[in-house]
């Protein structure tokens, strides 16, 4: 029997204690269920019809248009007349009509919306 106890004690000595368990983080409250897919409501400020100046009316027309439609018609004009820079598509090379709006011969697409907004009332 002495041999059996030696083996048992030898096994006990090699067993390591498990690391103390860390406290579990408190669970977050369940997020409220999302509403059924509702259609996005457009911002009223973008949809308000604005009257273009005479210089801008030469490109987009004289009727009052929402800002989004003005920018869309500007891009249609730019693409129709091939005014985008060939190397850097973000740049727009102005023709005579666009120079009166932009005030310079080349602008970036980001500047364009800022400069066009000055011609809308």
Q: Judge whether 65 lies within some domain.
A: yes
Give the pLDDT mean for 104-115: 94
How do residues 35-64 score in pLDDT, each as one tens digit?
667 888 877 877 899 999 999 999 999 999
Residue 5 has pLDDT above 70, yes or no: no
The number of distinct structural domains making up the chain is 1
Q: Domain of residue 102: give its range.
A: 46-117
Q: Judge whether 74 lies within some domain.
A: yes
- Contacts of residue 105, defined as CB under 8 A and 6 or more positions apart, other chains included, come to 93, 94, 99
Q: Judge whether 37 lies within some domain.
A: no
When mean pLDDT is compared over 11-15, 31-35, 111-115, the highest value belongs to 111-115
Residue pair 74/60 in contact by the 8 Å Cβ criterion: yes
* Selection from 58, 61, 94 nearest residue 78 by Cα: 94
Q: Judge whether 87 lies within some domain.
A: yes
Q: Judge whether 71 lies within some domain.
A: yes
Domain CATH code at residue 87: 1.10.245.10
Query: Which pLDDT belongs to residue 47?
Result: 87
**DSSP H or E segment with residue 91:** strand 91-93
Higher local confidence (pLDDT), 30 or 63 = 63
């Amino acid at each position: 029997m002495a041999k059996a106890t030696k083996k048992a004690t030898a096994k006990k000595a090699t067993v390591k204690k498990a690391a103390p368990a860390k406290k579990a983080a408190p669970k977050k409250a369940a997020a409220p269920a999302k509403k059924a897919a509702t259609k996005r409501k457009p911002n009223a400020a973008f949809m308000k019809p604005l009257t273009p100046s005479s210089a801008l009316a030469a490109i987009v027309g004289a009727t009052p248009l929402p800002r989004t439609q003005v920018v869309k018609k500007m891009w249609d004009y730019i693409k129709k007349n091939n005014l985008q820079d060939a190397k850097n598509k973000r740049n727009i090379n102005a023709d005579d009509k666009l120079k009166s709006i932009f005030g310079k011969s080349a602008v970036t697409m980001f500047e364009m919306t800022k400069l066009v907004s000055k011609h809308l009332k």
